[in-house]
Amino acid sequence: MLKRLFLVAAMLTAAVAAQAGTLESVRQKGFVSCGVNVGLGGFSMPDSKGVWRGLDVDACRAVAASVFGDAEKVRYVPMTATSRFAALQSGEIDILSRNTTFTFLRDATIGLRMVMVNFYDGQGFLVRKDAKIGSLKDLAGGTICMLQGSTHELNLADWMKQHNIDFHIVLLDTTDVLIKTMLSNRCDAASSDSSNLASIRGAGVPNPDDFVILPDRISKEPLGPMVRRADDQWLDVVRWSMMAMVEAEELGVTSANADQMLAESTNPTVQRLLGKSGDFGKLLGLDNAFALNIIKQVGNYGEAYERNVGMGSSLKLDRGPNALWTNGGLMYAIPFR
Ligand SMILES: N[C@@H](CCC(=O)N[C@@H](CS)C(=O)NCC(=O)O)C(=O)O
């Protein structure tokens, strides 16, 4: 009995130690170490001045705003599709925010935890317009190029099995190589998350009008950040930082009106979100103004979407499934109460 109690106590101590983990170490080093894509327009890419921008970058900035009251306190660590998980497991990075798909196996077997979807996507296909291909089935027997270490290979294998259609699959290392191989006519199609293809079509090839994205979507690719397992406090910090951006959009709180809403809004949810009541920040080990800081410095989810991948960006993706649930989409904040 005593031994069992001791064991439980030891496990609890270990759990508490793990919980003290990342938030504390991030505070001590003074920045959030964020694993991002080496360069994917709209998601994570340095601009002409070397400033990182994108929807995945904004997830990192939101967490920095929560922890430090300063969205700039992030160090970006570029990751390839294959290096990303080990970097998070080893503690090299605190968050992996790199157009990463949530799947059962990634959640259950690699010591990591999915936080929250920040972009609902699906696997698509980019083809040359002059090939006059209308759908994936027209490509039967053709060569499809994609990146290794991604979800895409298995998705396509499943699809081929289901439809009894075969393709020749070529696996490549980086997006740059994928684009070059596509441009040299060695692939009939490039396959990836459709947002990825939009970014390649928009900025990766010399003439976007030479390429089209087929209407087929063969998979669900819910993208979002991951953290290490057994660090519930850090998981909460990252999850509720992102949730705050969606809740703010639902409530109509923006970077422009947040201060005014804090001063004037009589809506109890707005008051809790912005830290006027409820002590929600403290409950996460943060300042009660954590969400206010995010909204002022990074914006609500809709602002981040439009600026990075929506109408204010070169990608011009409509909200689609990433619209708020109140507008027929899937973005839905768990209530702040
Ligand atoms: N969402 C998928 C795909 C992520 C992915 O790595 N996509 C490639 C497609 S082009 C990419 O971003 N490559 C950038 C690079 O490594 O250069 C996953 O999590 O496996």
193: enclosing H helix or E strand:
strand 189-193
Q: How far is the CA of 92 from the centre of ligand 1 (A)?
A: 20
Is the CB of residue 100 below 6 angstroms from any atom belonging to ligand 1? Answer: yes
Output the pLDDT for position 149: 87
- Same domain flag for 139 and 215: yes
First-to-last C-alpha distance (Å) of the chain: 40
Q: Residue 91 belongs to a domain with what CATH number?
A: 3.40.190.10
Provide Rg for the chain, Cα atoms: 21
316: enclosing H helix or E strand:
none
Ligand 1 atom, smallest distance to 101 CA: 19
- Same domain flag for 107 and 141: no
Q: Return the residue matching tokens 């949530």.
A: 102
Output the pLDDT for position 20: 54
Ligand 1 atom, smallest distance to 200 CA: 10
- Same domain flag for 160 and 183: yes
Residues sharing a CB contact under 8 Å with residue 148, sequence separation 6 or more, in sequence order:
81, 82, 171, 172, 173
- Same domain flag for 43 and 103: yes
Q: Where are the alpha helices (DSSP H) in the chain?
A: 2-29, 55-68, 84-89, 104-109, 152-163, 175-183, 194-199, 232-251, 258-264, 268-273, 280-283, 290-297, 301-308
Residues sharing a CB contact under 8 Å with residue 149, sequence separation 6 or more, in sequence order:
80, 81, 82, 84
Q: Is residue 14 situated within a structural domain?
A: yes
Ligand 1 atom, smallest distance to 192 CA: 9
Q: Is residue 145 situated within a structural domain?
A: yes
Is the CB of residue 178 below 6 angstroms from any atom belonging to ligand 1? Answer: yes
Residue-wise pLDDT tens for the chain (337 aa)? 444 544 444 444 444 444 459 999 999 999 999 999 999 999 999 999 999 999 999 999 999 999 999 999 999 999 988 899 999 999 999 999 999 999 999 999 999 999 999 999 999 999 999 999 999 999 999 999 999 989 999 999 999 999 999 999 999 988 889 999 999 999 999 999 999 999 999 888 889 999 999 999 999 999 999 999 999 999 999 999 999 999 999 999 999 999 999 999 999 999 999 999 999 999 999 999 999 999 999 999 999 999 999 999 999 999 999 999 999 999 999 999 9
Ligand 1 atom, smallest distance to 176 CA: 17
Q: Is residue 64 situated within a structural domain?
A: yes
Is the CB of residue 40 below 6 angstroms from any atom belonging to ligand 1? Answer: yes
- Same domain flag for 6 and 107: yes
Output the pLDDT for position 203: 83
- Same domain flag for 9 and 93: yes
Q: Is residue 209 situated within a structural domain?
A: yes
Distance CA 245, CA 250 (A): 9
Q: Give the domain range for residue 46.
A: 2-120+223-238+303-327
Last residue of a domain, one of 161, 187, 219: 219
pTM of the model: 0.91
Output the pLDDT for position 214: 96
Q: How far is the CA of 331 from the centre of ligand 1 (A)?
A: 22
- Same domain flag for 35 and 95: yes
Q: Is residue 172 situated within a structural domain?
A: yes
- Same domain flag for 36 and 110: yes
- Same domain flag for 12 and 82: yes
Is the CB of residue 250 below 6 angstroms from any atom belonging to ligand 1? Answer: no
Pairing of strands 143-147, 189-193: parallel
Of 68, 111, 280, 310, nearest to 199 (Cα)? 310
Q: How far is the CA of 126 from the centre of ligand 1 (A)?
A: 15
Is the CB of residue 151 below 6 angstroms from any atom belonging to ligand 1? Answer: yes
Is the CB of residue 80 below 6 angstroms from any atom belonging to ligand 1? Answer: yes
Q: Return the residue matching tokens 């990591």.
A: 112
Q: Is residue 296 situated within a structural domain?
A: no
- Same domain flag for 314 and 229: yes
Q: Is residue 86 situated within a structural domain?
A: yes
Distance CA 45, CA 29 (A): 24
Establish how many alpha carbons lie within 13 A of residue 154's alpha carbon, considering only the half-sphere containing its beta carbon: 8
Q: Which amino acid is at 9?
A: A
Last residue of a domain, one of 185, 219, 253: 219
* CA distances (Å), origin 190, targets 182, 183, 282, 318: 7, 10, 47, 22
Is the CB of residue 97 below 6 angstroms from any atom belonging to ligand 1? Answer: no
Q: Is residue 213 situated within a structural domain?
A: yes
- Same domain flag for 37 and 144: no
Using the Cα atoms of residue 122, residue 106, residue 223 and residue 55 in order, give the sign of their dihedral.
negative
Q: How far is the CA of 147 from the centre of ligand 1 (A)?
A: 7
- Same domain flag for 101 and 59: yes
Q: How far is the CA of 99 from the centre of ligand 1 (A)?
A: 7
Q: How many domains does the chain divide into?
A: 2
